[in-house]
């Protein structure tokens, strides 16, 4: 005998009947088929009760809607010759339903007896229609009222299935039925008073499981609207996938901790009788689904099977000195909860025995507090116990797998990845079976936590990086283009999935809305965006999304944006900046950003602050971290100034023309005076000094201006270029001096000890800097280990492409961390 259950809120009656007919026609053995109410009917019954209770006559419209659903199914599935009989039965039952709801409406009250009776109508009506359908298919079928089979009893204020009586009555009714199919309405049963009762959440699944157990079925198949038990809830985790097989014990854990597809309180009896359970998808019948049985010991690689969760949890904590060493204290506490029918989801106690905390559904938290505070009122008055503390807005997450028992490091992985994503764990517990690890977190972090855990245990090393890019000029634009070019390579070779969640320029911002941002058309996308750029809103949207591995990328030179970094780091959002302001501004700000980065485990990377795409800061950090000591740094740090003077020395263009050319080529900032004033180089050598361990401020760096005062005092680019043209003779003298001494002109930055300075220098042919061409930059690190021959880094130091590649490298570094 096989037991089949059909239902699912999003599954059509047609699909259920089609699959059921196919299964029954293919096999010779006898079937028990358990059916649910038609889709939407149970919700209408619940709403009708509430309307009647609130004295709203709209409950009558709910009855009309229920009638409409059933009439439609009758016309579609019942032969015309039988329709009048079925419709007559429907009318009688709906009149009965109307009478009960009218009584609720008039009296303004409901009882459990009334609720159960009303809710039973859904399965009663659907089973009658389905019975007529199968008869029309010439299937030998019997319709049996579940109230003659399944019985409940009251056990210490709780209604539970009376398994012994259910088994006796089921065999009494069913053993003599020779029909190939025995059709049973799910969800309904009879209590010890002989009244109609129901089996609660997932009641039809439970009905099927009960029948499978008491009739010693060969298998139990649950046909629903999902393809089995998933590795995580696919609503929250898009990469979740069905698990092919889980053990009975794993299923019990998942059922307790919120897995909605498993509703079998009698799983243990099914396990004892070795009855396998298959959860299948009516909408995708060819999917394998999930088998619940005994674990395959030859497949130890599946250490974690699934991640489950329960939302809207409250954590209750009781603490006090009198709890220490007092036998039976926990017993008293949990007896109080039991007497008030409050289910404890998880519990943990401090080893000092001075406190105990436990999780319950949020709806029961206040009831629990009143009952416990009342019981311990004397001890509370003596201050031996504190009043029960309630913390709401929490969720429970449970990682489940039989293989966890003998596998080291699972808890370390769980809490490490949560910590890296700034997800605070409020409470932790693990059973002695080591089959699950449960913990409590804030509701706000539930989606993020599920995704990072799923990524860690099920996605084979693929890590998704969520990027929020501000600044879409030369550097930002090239960065987006490079991401488009390299995204497939990064996924295949490095296991990094790059997803740009938002783009912003000075005018507009574009956030992903449902569909991914089309990066091949990002320019049109940002131009057509309907949201104005607002730094506060940009920050709020990132916090609302609360995505794992979030990275803010700042490609601007905007001080207001740099001032936001600390907020992001505190929320565990990584920061990658080509913007130099934060690292070269007030030292305390720089120091605090590095502190926040370490405290919250969020990277703060700014390699491009000094050498565009060159690994200058990374090299310096490696020297310092390995115990070397920096004695002196000599550097040409401005690729733009190097390009300008190398080009100007050819004598083919005026200084103004050369600067304009550098600007057109993307070598300078949008305001070229930043480069030519030397302030950009000052910021770079200051950053290197700070990364060397020195506490210097910007005004500690000595700067030798080569621009005339008139050029420095201009207010915009037009007036700046006019001043350059007017002062051409000043720049000619610089060239003449260089040519006279057979020298090159370089803007050099130096750090010797704790003294830093920048300025133009005439470089002789024997110097390393002499042959520095184009926009290249060079850094000489003199250290204790490199005291005679410096460590040299040389290469392209300006340009949108190389700077974007430096930003990209920092992003990849975070992904590989």
Q: Are 671 and 679 in contact (CB under 8 A)?
A: no
pLDDT value for 296: 63
Q: H/E element holding 87?
A: helix 80-107
Q: pLDDT per residue over 477-515, tens digit each?
A: 999 999 999 999 998 889 899 999 999 999 999 999 878
Kindly write down the DSSP assignment for every residue of 346-376, as one continuous string.
EEEE-TTSSEEEEEEEGGGHHHHHHHHHHHT
- For 562, the token pair is 């740099």
Cα dihedral 325, 330, 335, 336 in deg (nearest 10): 90
Angle at 734 between CA 728 and CA 740, to 5 degrees: 130
- What is the rounded distance in angstroms from the CA atom of residue 186 to the CA atom of residue 193? 20
List C-alpha distances in Å: 650 to 240, 380, 721. 63, 89, 20
Specify which of 3-12, 63-72, 452-461 reaches the highest per-range mean pLDDT.
63-72
Residues contacting 744, CB < 8 A, separation 6+: 645, 646, 649, 738, 762, 763, 769, 770, 772
| Banded model confidence at residue 288, pLDDT cuts 50, 70, 90 | very high
The three-state secondary structure class of 625 is helix
φ/ψ (deg, to 5) at 677: -75, -15
φ/ψ (deg, to 5) at 509: -135, 145
Q: pLDDT per residue over 589-622, tens digit each?
A: 999 999 999 998 899 999 999 988 899 999 999 9
- What is the rounded distance in angstroms from the CA atom of residue 173 to the CA atom of residue 44? 32
DSSP lists the bridge partners of residue 509 as 504, 531
pLDDT value for 9: 55
Q: Are 44 and 65 in contact (CB under 8 A)?
A: yes
- What is the rounded distance in angstroms from the CA atom of residue 673 to the CA atom of residue 734? 18
pLDDT of residue 568 exceeding 90, the answer is yes
Q: pLDDT per residue over 79-110, tens digit each?
A: 999 999 999 999 999 999 999 999 999 998 89
pTM: 0.75
Strand duo 306-319 + 355-361: pairing: antiparallel
- For 543, the token pair is 């916090």
684 is catalytic: yes
pLDDT value for 606: 97
Active-site residue identified among 497, 673, 684, 746: 684
pLDDT value for 8: 58
pLDDT value for 545: 92
- For 29, the token pair is 């053995």
Strand duo 755-763 + 550-554: pairing: unpaired
Q: What percent of the chain has pLDDT over 90?
A: 72
pLDDT value for 177: 94
Q: What is the mean pLDDT of the chain?
A: 91
Q: Are 263 and 202 in contact (CB under 8 A)?
A: yes
First to last CA, the chain: 55
* Least confident residue range of 598-602, 790-794, 808-812: 598-602
Number of residues that make up the chain: 817
Q: pLDDT per residue over 361-398, tens digit each?
A: 999 999 999 999 999 999 899 888 999 999 999 999 99
pLDDT value for 11: 59
pLDDT of residue 775 exceeding 90, the answer is no
- What is the rounded distance in angstroms from the CA atom of residue 123 to the CA atom of residue 41? 9
């Amino acid at each position: 005998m096989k037991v089949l259950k059909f239902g699912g809120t999003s599954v059509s009656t047609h699909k259920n009947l089609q699959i059921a007919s196919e299964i029954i026609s293919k096999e010779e053995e006898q079937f028990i088929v358990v059916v649910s109410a038609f889709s939407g009917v149970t919700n209408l019954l619940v709403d009708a009760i509430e309307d009647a209770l609130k004295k709203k006559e709209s409950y009558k419209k709910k009855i009309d809607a229920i009638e409409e659903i059933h009439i439609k199914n009758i016309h579609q599935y019942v032969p015309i010759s039988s329709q009048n009989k079925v419709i007559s039965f429907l009318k009688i039952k709906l009149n009965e339903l109307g009478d009960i709801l009218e009584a609720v409406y008039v009296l303004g009250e409901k009882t459990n007896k009334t609720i159960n009776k009303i809710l039973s109508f859904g399965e009663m009506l659907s089973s009658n229609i389905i019975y007529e359908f199968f008869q029309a298919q010439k299937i030998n079928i019997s319709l049996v009222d579940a109230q003659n089979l399944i019985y409940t009893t009251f056990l210490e204020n709780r209604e539970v299935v009376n398994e012994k009586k259910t088994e006796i009555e089921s065999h009494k009714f069913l053993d003599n039925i020779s029909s190939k199919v025995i059709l049973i309405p799910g969800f309904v049963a009879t209590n010890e008073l002989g009244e109609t009762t129901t089996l609660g959440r997932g009641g039809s699944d439970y009905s099927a499981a009960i029948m499978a157990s008491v009739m010693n079925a060969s298998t139990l198949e649950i046909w629903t609207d999902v393809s089995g038990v998933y590795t995580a809830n696919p609503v929250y985790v898009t990469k979740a996938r069905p698990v092919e097989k889980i053990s009975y014990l794993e299923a019990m854990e998942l059922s307790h901790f919120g897995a909605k597809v498993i509703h079998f309180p009698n799983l243990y009896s099914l396990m004892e009788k070795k009855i396998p359970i298959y959860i299948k998808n009516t909408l995708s019948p060819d999917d394998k689904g999930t088998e619940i049985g005994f674990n395959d010991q030859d497949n130890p690689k599946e250490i974690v099977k699934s991640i489950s969760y329960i939302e809207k949890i409250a954590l209750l904590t009781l603490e006090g000195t009198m709890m220490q060493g007092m036998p039976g204290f926990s017993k008293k506490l949990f007896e109080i909860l039991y007497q008030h029918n409050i289910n404890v989801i998880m519990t943990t106690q401090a080893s000092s025995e001075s406190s105990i905390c436990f999780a319950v559904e949020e709806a029961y938290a206040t009831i629990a507090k009143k009952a416990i505070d009342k019981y311990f009122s004397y001890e509370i008055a003596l201050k031996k116990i504190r009043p029960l503390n309630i913390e709401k807005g929490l969720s429970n997450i449970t990682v489940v797998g039989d293989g966890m028992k003998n596998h080291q490091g699972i808890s370390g992985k769980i809490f490490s990845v949560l910590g890296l994503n700034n997800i605070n764990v409020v409470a932790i517990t693990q059973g002695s079976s080591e089959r699950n690890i449960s913990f409590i977190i804030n509701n706000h972090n539930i989606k993020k936590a599920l995704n990072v855990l799923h990524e860690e245990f099920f996605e084979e090393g693929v890590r998704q990086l969520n990027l929020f890019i501000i600044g879409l000029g030369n550097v930002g634009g090239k960065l987006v283009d490079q991401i488009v070019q390299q995204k497939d390579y990064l996924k295949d070779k490095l296991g990094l999935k790059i997803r740009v969640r938002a783009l912003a320029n000075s005018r507009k911002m574009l956030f992903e809305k449902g569909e991914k941002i089309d990066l091949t058309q990002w320019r049109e996308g940002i131009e057509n965006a309907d949201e104005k750029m607002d730094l506060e809103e940009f920050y709020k949207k990132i916090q609302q999304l609360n995505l794992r591995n979030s990275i803010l990328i700042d490609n601007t030179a905007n001080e207001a944006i740099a001032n936001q970094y600390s907020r992001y780091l505190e929320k565990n959002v990584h920061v990658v900046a080509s913007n130099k302001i934060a690292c070269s501004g007030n030292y305390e700000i720089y120091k605090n950003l590095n502190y926040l980065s370490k405290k919250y485990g969020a990277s703060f990377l700014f390699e491009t602050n000094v050498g565009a795409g060159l690994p200058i800061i990374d090299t310096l950090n490696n020297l310092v971290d390995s115990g070397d000591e920096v004695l002196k740094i000599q550097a040409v740090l401005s690729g733009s100034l190097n390009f300008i003077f190398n080009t100007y020395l050819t004598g083919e263009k005026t200084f103004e023309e050369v600067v304009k050319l550098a600007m057109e080529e993307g070598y300078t900032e949008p305001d070229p005076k930043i480069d030519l004033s030397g302030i950009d180089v000052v910021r770079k050598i200051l950053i290197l000094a700070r990364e060397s361990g020195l506490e210097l401020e910007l005004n500690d760096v000595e700067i030798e201006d080569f621009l005339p005062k008139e050029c420095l005092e201009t207010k915009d680019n037009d007036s700046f270029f006019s001043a350059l043209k007017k002062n051409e003779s000043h720049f000619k003298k610089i060239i003449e001096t260089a040519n006279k001494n057979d020298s090159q002109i370089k803007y050099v930055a130096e750090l010797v000890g704790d003294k830093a300075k920048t300025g133009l220098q005439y470089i002789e042919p024997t110097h390393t800097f002499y042959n520095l061409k184009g926009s290249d930059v060079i850094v000489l690190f003199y250290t204790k280990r490199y005291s005679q021959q410096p460590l040299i880094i040389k290469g392209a130091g300006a340009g949108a492409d190389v700077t974007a590649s430096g930003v990209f490298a920092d992003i990849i570094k975070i992904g590989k961390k």
